[in-house]
Structure 1
Amino acid sequence: MLTAGRYTFWNSLIDYKFVTADLSKIEITEDISKALYSNMQLRQYIRTFEVAAFEKAIMIVNDTFVKILEHGTYHFWKNEQTIKIAKADMRQLQLEVAGQELLTKDKATVRINFYAQFKVTDVETALMHNKDYEKQLYTILQLALRAFVGAYTLDELLEQKETIATAVLEDVKTQAQKLGVIVLHSGIRDVILPGDMKDIMNQVLIAHKKAQANVVTRREETASTRSLLNTAKLMEDNSMLFKLKEMEYVEKIADKIGEITVAGNGNVIEQLKDIFSVNK
């Protein structure tokens, strides 16, 4: 590596090849093998930047945007010009909006754990025109979530819990584009009620279930009473049916009797009839 100056070499003894490099520019356009970039003497004149396979970067020279860099390794001459490389992860990313304590329309406090999956689509917009685009996206999601929850009472919110993610996703799409990202999906992990609210909701649920059970019981009792009434009307009009029903009950009673003793010289059948007779 020869710096500025005059140098003398023997002629014809060795075949020399010289490459003159202009170090005042940043691009390395000279015919220099990349294998030499790691040479100790040459390395001090070169600056190197790495852009990973899942990244894109913007190149800023002297505080002016120059171009977008795809993944790869980049080498530039080291001089008084400043070079900055800002990188963005181009993979699908996930943003957690966790433990948000929000007030509903009826002033009930709920804690919601929310997430959103997004992807950078415009690296220049994300890095050049916005500072900390992820933090801005977090704030946008937080405010959209707060606005949605604040528009409903607790009961309405619990009924429409499945629609929260869809509503928030639609609400943030336009603002996300201004950040150079697109929100692909969002969802709610948990809707957590405070302890006293849980107790109240459990009491309401128990009362509701008891009321349902009472309705079923009353319905069954009504159906049973109606059936008994219909049977009584039929037996009133049909003496044979009454006798059959009478014999059915006699059979049930007899199943529970271990022994029957009949005394006297009267007719046995008549005595049994007197024992199980039912006044009509």
Structure 2
Amino acid sequence: MIVTGPVGTATAPLARRNPVAKLAAALVFSFTLVATIDPVAPAVAIAIELAVLPLFGVRYATLARRAWPLLLSALGVVFTMVLFAADRTGTLLLDAGPVTVTTGVLASASGLALRLVAVALPGVLVFATTDPTDLADALIQNAKAPPRFALGALAAFRMLPLLAAEWQLLGMARRARGVDAGRNPVARLRLFAATAFALLVGAIRRGTRLATAMDARGFDAGTPRTVARRQRFTVADTALILGAAVLAGAALTVSILLGTFQPLLG
């Protein structure tokens, strides 16, 4: 089952900040790192993110369970770059037939993989410590987002556990009918594609019914809406955004001082 609610301690110093402030801080911290392609700046950024993790009330084991697909993606980036990178400059480290590994390839691959983790990890922290309903309320009240967009995103976010449950149901239904791929990788791939297509069709049908039901209940009436829970944007929330900008600048400064800074453009 996919958990969409917060998994951190709600009373932690940064976990109780305004959802829009946390989202803005994550965006500021992440997109600043896009300015360079060297591995030092994202490595420093990851160290900072792990250091402030207790302030969000999230355990390291919980973060590992949530972010393991991200780590697999980073490893996939390194593997792909090592095999297919065009730039093979630097000292030769390994020459195994078609696979040639150099220091230049490793630097590029590690920089891209670390930047992927450093950019995505703040978003993982935000959604791991934010209630989806609070985020929708804050988007409407503080970010002045259209209610149709915010409430629609909230409804879609709440449907994620249903998709996970339906995926398991489809798998059990196919096994009950004797449809099993066994140890054949090609059959497994075919079965996965068929199950994914069935899940997509079911998701589209459920989304259409949900949209019709929300329109029938006046969610698209266009009239001014009231809010039941106020989301206040305080000085501490502003300080969180400024702090994220300062820390991101510190990561870039370390890269510049060490002479490894490589601008993305130029």
Larger Rg: 1
Shared fold, TM over 0.5? no
Q: What is the TM-score with the length of structure 2 in the denominator? A: 0.20
Q: What is the TM-score with the length of structure 1 in the denominator? A: 0.19
